[in-house]
Amino acid sequence: MASDRRSVAAEVFRHASPIAIAHRGGDEVAPENTVAAFEHAWSLGFRVLETDVHVTADGVLIAFHDADLERLTGRPGALADRTWDELRSIDLGGGHRIPTMAELFETFPTAVFNIDPKADGSVGRLAASIHEHGAVGRVNIGSFSDARIARMIELLGPTLSTSAGPRDTARLLLAARGLGRGPERHTCVQVPLNMKGVKLNPRLVRGLQRRGRQVHVWTVNDAPTMRMLVEWGVDGIMTDRPSLLRSTLEELEVWR
């Protein structure tokens, strides 16, 4: 399975390292996770777009990070308790609205999507949408739930590209230190610089890469850290500031 997953990784993350990943599309010109945010990142040359999904009360899969509307709109109430007709009319600012995941798949038919199913109830609908859009070969699934990732693999097959969940990330970090083997089933490890007391460093990056795992770091919004990660040789950098990441990688002559 490990060799199969690495071959899938070569296709999903086929861009030259370091891969530039637009976190929720970025928030430079429009609210996060909106079509306009993703269009901005795409216009800059980003070909890997990160997003999150929830399911509405009537079963529509939407691209949205939070479980409720409070942070972005000041409105109370869980997304899961609202219908799509209720949500589709909400203005997130500047006339921008919540998109469905189907809309994103159709608007960006060649993009790689890094998708986080934020709740157990979104897993089955996400798998169905990926299948409906023939997108298995252009998605990577990540989650803070190892169980959700495992379920996505069950639904879409062992060649689905995935990043490690919290438990498997811990096991892979131990393996990178020479302690155990770690799981074989993930394409990449997507981590912040600091993980519950464990600080990412060049040795850990190299150790993970020796085990066939790409290392993607989130969420990086300042140029000095971007430069440091390029020096470390990470495989991907995730940012809310796609213009800054592009200009920094251009300055270092590693923008592809």
**Catalytic positions:** 23, 65
163: exposed, middle or buried (Cβ count in 10 Å: 0-12, 13-18, 19+):
buried
Cα dist. 87→39, 69, 70, 73, 91 in Å?
A: 21, 9, 13, 11, 9
Tokens of 146: 């190892």
CA angle 218, 224, 225 (to 5 degrees): 20
Phi-psi region of 25 (alpha: psi -120 to 50; beta: other; left: phi over 0): left
